[in-house]
Structure 1
Amino acid sequence: MDTEKMDKTPMYQYIVNDIKRKIESGELKPHDPLPTQIDLAKEYNTSEITSRRALSDLVQEGYVYRIRGKGSFIQENMRAAAGSKPIHTIYFAHQNQISNFNHPFFSEMFDGIKDVCEENGVAFHLWDIGQHYELPEDPDAGIILLTIADTFDLSRLTAWQKEGRKLVTVHFYYPHLGIPYVIVDNLTGGYLATQHLLSLGHRRIGVIITGNSILEINQEFTLRLQGYRLALSQHQIAFDPNLIAIMSGEGERLEMGFEGFKKLMALEDPPTAIFATSDYKAIGAMEAARSLGMKIPEDVSVMGYDDVKVSQYTYPSLSTVSQNTRKLGERAAEILLFELKDGDGQLLKDEVVPTLIHRESTGPAPR
């Protein structure tokens, strides 16, 4: 391979031009891997700083994409060649939700977005759209959008589509609008939590869930409840609505779990295990168990959901479900940077599978 440079073009630009030439000639095809910056520096007899600069420029121009931990690859959708500007900034757009962002669901998702952005030389910021639904002025910015299903004005989504905004929604989704989305598979999460308790011999499993009624439960909790019912049906266990404690209120609070647990334990035939659909409710349920003189997990098992930081330090440590939201953030950013194609009517979507974490709060069903 002839990599001799005969003119006064800066070396990083020479590498950029040479790789573009190989792409245009077909020598490099979409998704082909490129050498590492170390190997690229050796190939062109230059420094790693120069090869890093070349790779960064190729990413910025839309010819190359990076996947964290795997390397650099030739872009399939040549934004630069097609005249469409590459994304230089990704915004996480929300509506007055910043007070909730300390929850690991969001903090880990932001880490995932940031990792992909840093790998590809893209800036990352939070953006509050406010009551007037104002997106950043940059029409080429990538938008990862968090909506609130009960209050969000869906006509704004349609308007942003018509403007050609580069959108991906997370957490909540609207397949009928054709907007790309990434979500956590809450049905599988609810199934995993319930199956874990069933595998320990529990047959009376209570659920503490947030909502105003069985018909007024939000999207994510509804799916977790569906996963619970699916696991029961596979074990030929009839669904008993008396085992569902529905707790109303804003946000997830210990009090919901405390009151929900006492309500379930007051049944004539109480459950031997509790699946609380958030860790905060689960921790409240554990406090209620202690107040009733019950031992965990000897008398009753308690299962949470979310894997908040404190769950590993409770006594006993809380079994829970991790939503793997770092991966959620990574996939949302990757879809914006690498997979969106102008004029392609195909709906892009991804579901991140949760992980069961077995700790000390769940054990065999009491005899």
Structure 2
Amino acid sequence: MFLRGKRKHVYQHIIEDLKRQIAEGKIRHDEPLPTQIELARMYNTSEITSRRALAELANEGIISRTRGKGSFLKQETERTAFNGLQQRAELSQIYFVYNNEIASAYHHRFFSDLLTGIKEECELHGIPFYIWGMDDEFQMPEGDDIGIILHPHLKNGNEMPLDLLRQWKEEGKRLVTVHFYYPHLQIPYVIVDNFVGGYLATEHLLSLGHERIGIILTGKSPVEMNQEFALRLQGYKLALTQHRVAFDLELVCVLDGERESEQMGAEGLNRLMSLEQRPTAIFATSDSKAIGAIKAAGKRGLLVPDDVSIIGYDDILVSQFTIPSLTTINQNTLLLGKRAAQILLFERKSEQMRDEIVPQLIIRSSTGEAKTASPEYST
């Protein structure tokens, strides 16, 4: 498992964002701050985390908290009083840079929400935002005062050469990578925590009583796949371990393909349901594969979720309209885009910055309680 470096906690990001809003006059003395429940919803975190953020602001003397009334900005607090508030970097514009050959992939919700998040954060601070498609020569936009949010994925499923990334870093380009990370290069990054996403999907099925859970992944083999699917597999394994369910390699179906497709999901379901001891639930690691699996289940005369529960990953638009509607993982990439832009705009030591966005479980109709337990697969 990847060992994460030291990074800011979510409560610290909440504190910084609230300080920014105070400094910009968006939070007034005569109006209460959002409650800890509201903050938890706004930042997609727990009430424990939001409560700590408010407590830290109170400890700094910035707000006062009154039981039954709420939290208020202290009258004596001035906008310039925040020593911990980082000043906005002088950027003339921000670019989202991607491989020009795979533009069609950016219609996916992951990227539409990502781009919307970047756009909203740039508009909030009056910074122009553009997208830039690179050709095979990897030409970057020019300028010393521009910020670059880079998605280093190529049309063949590979990633940009490390030497090229290292060169851009040495040239002083102001980079943030999204969806992929390179800790040894000390390039700041923001990713969705695929490990947690895989865990949430699997734990949901386990909580419904399923123990024999298949997983459909994209890659060349169980040990040769890209970062996102490898981490989802690790989350799957951890959930099984915590529920004392044995990991069974027979239930891991890995299919090769450049792009996610319903055909992959159909093939994965047919393989898994052809096992002598077939699974009662399947975690398809993309919505496209999950939708294909649901259709294939119907062709085999299986009811979802009565005969097999299926969960996807991505929460694409059509997932809520399938029959049955698809239980899935929303990657929360609107926040991913906002955080990437914030790092470029506000972090003084951005080369040390890294952030992981927590995905969210969306429960719909394609998962249900297991009809039969499988105690022989417990340890």
Partner of 1:43: none
Q: Answer yes or no: is the 8 Å Cα contact 1:253–1:281 preserved in 2.
A: yes
**Cα deviations by residue, 1:14-36 (Å, 9 ceiling, x for unpaired):** xxxxxxxxxxxxxxxx8682363
The separation in 1 between residues aligned to 2:348 and 2:332, in whole angstroms, is 23
Q: Which runs of 5+ in 1 are unaligned?
A: 1-29, 40-71, 80-84
| TM-score, with structure 1 as normaliser | 0.78
Partner of 1:36: 25
Report the CA distance between 1:150 and its aligned residue. Answer: 2.4
Q: Answer yes or no: is the 8 Å Cα contact 2:87–2:346 preserved in 1.
A: no
Partner of 1:106: 111
What letter corresponds to residue 167 of structure 2 in structure 1? A
Partner of 2:152: 147
The separation in 1 between residues aligned to 2:146 and 2:213, in whole angstroms, is 47
Partner of 2:352: 347
Equivalent position to 1:122, from 120, 127, 135 = 127
The separation in 1 between residues aligned to 2:281 and 2:113, in whole angstroms, is 29
The separation in 2 between residues aligned to 1:100 and 1:37, in whole angstroms, is 37
Partner of 1:26: none
1:92 and 2:81 matched: no
Partner of 1:301: 309
What letter corresponds to residue 362 of structure 1 in structure 2? T
Equivalent position to 1:356, from 333, 336, 361 = 361
Partner of 2:287: 279
1:205 and 2:213 matched: yes
The separation in 1 between residues aligned to 2:27 and 2:199, in whole angstroms, is 46
What letter corresponds to residue 22 of structure 2 in structure 1? P
Q: Answer yes or no: is the 8 Å Cα contact 2:332–2:360 preserved in 1.
A: yes
Evaluate the alpha carbon distance shift between residue 227 and residue 37 of structure 1 in structure 2; reply closer, same or farther with a 3 A threshold: closer
Number of matched residues? Answer: 300
Evaluate the alpha carbon distance shift between residue 37 and residue 328 of structure 1 in structure 2; reply closer, same or farther with a 3 A threshold: closer
Q: Which runs of 5+ in 2 are unaligned?
A: 1-18, 29-78, 373-379
Report the CA distance between 1:37 and its aligned residue. Answer: 7.4
Partner of 1:157: 165
Equivalent position to 2:275, from 267, 272, 282 = 267
| TM-score, with structure 2 as normaliser | 0.75
- Root-mean-square deviation (Å): 2.2
Counterpart secondary structure, 2:253: strand
Equivalent position to 2:237, from 229, 234, 238 = 229
**Cα deviations by residue, 1:222-251 (Å, 9 ceiling, x for unpaired):** 000000000000011111000011111110
The separation in 2 between residues aligned to 1:304 and 1:156, in whole angstroms, is 34
Q: Answer yes or no: is the 8 Å Cα contact 1:140–1:165 preserved in 2.
A: no
Report the CA distance between 1:127 and its aligned residue. Answer: 0.6
Partner of 1:168: 176
Aligned-pair identity (%): 53
